[in-house]
Amino acid sequence: MDHRYARLELGSFGTLQMTFLADPTTGAVRYWLTAPHVRGSVVLVPAQFFADPSVPQTPARGADLYIFARLDNVPTGMGRNERPLTVHGIELAGRSAVNTQDFGSIEAYRMARSGGIEPLPSRSGQLARAVLRAAAEHWSQRDDRPVLDDLARRASAQHFLSQYEDELAKLEEAVRRAQAARDETQQRISTLRDLMNPAVPACA
């Protein structure tokens, strides 16, 4: 998958230019975003990347996409060396959960002095939400979205497979040790029972 380009109008906020690149191993998509007072990158990750494919899924509700504005936290590793998104010179942080049936739920955050995250100031927040919403809407309409979802699901399967294989190895080792301990305890019980109930009397 190579770089692609798009331009979207954000009304009073001007024109948003997007350059995007999909990761062929995880389904994540890195968006470079440029508009008046807007520069930098975000990474969009399908929600399937975080779901365990071996667990029966309930009907889809809630987030089906995550937008990572703090790129050093992107779990796929994509975009970590890129410039993070800034709006009015404010660097965005955190991640936004997106329900593509309700783009109005998208939030935008910055780092707080406490080390957590906090909403952006009013005007900057409006612009940031408009930009993130445009990127999310573009992602939701991509022709290759089923492919991205499938890649994310496969990446998730690989992650959970490795995790469960490690857990199984630990469980099997625990079972082996438990069986050895059981056999040793059973041998001691047999020895003690033999002493308590000898087959031949010690004296006539």
Query: Residues 26-48: pLDDT tens digits?
Result: 999 999 999 999 999 999 999 99
Does the pTM surpass 0.85? The reply is no
Helices (H) and strands (E) in the chain, counts: 2, 10
Mean confidence (pLDDT) of the chain: 89
User: Is residue 61's pLDDT more than 80?
Assistant: no
What is the band of 1 on the pLDDT scale with cuts at 50, 70, 90?
very low
Q: Which two tokens stand for residue 31?
A: 């968006």
Integer-rounded Cα Rg, in Å, for the chain is 28
Largest CA distance in the chain: 111
Q: Can you tell me the distance from the alpha carbon of 122 to that of 108, in angstroms, rounded to the nearest whole number?
A: 11
**pLDDT of 104:** 81
Query: Residues 2-14: pLDDT tens digits?
Result: 568 899 899 999 9
Residue 139 CA to chain centroid, in angstroms?
17
Q: 100 and 145 in contact (C-beta within 8 Å)?
A: no
| Through-space distance between the first and last CA atoms of the chain, rounded to whole angstroms | 92
User: Is residue 102's pLDDT more than 90?
Assistant: no
User: Is residue 200's pLDDT more than 80?
Assistant: no
Q: Which two tokens stand for residue 3?
A: 């770089």
**pLDDT of 58:** 59
User: Is residue 65's pLDDT more than 50?
Assistant: yes
Q: 120 and 87 in contact (C-beta within 8 Å)?
A: yes
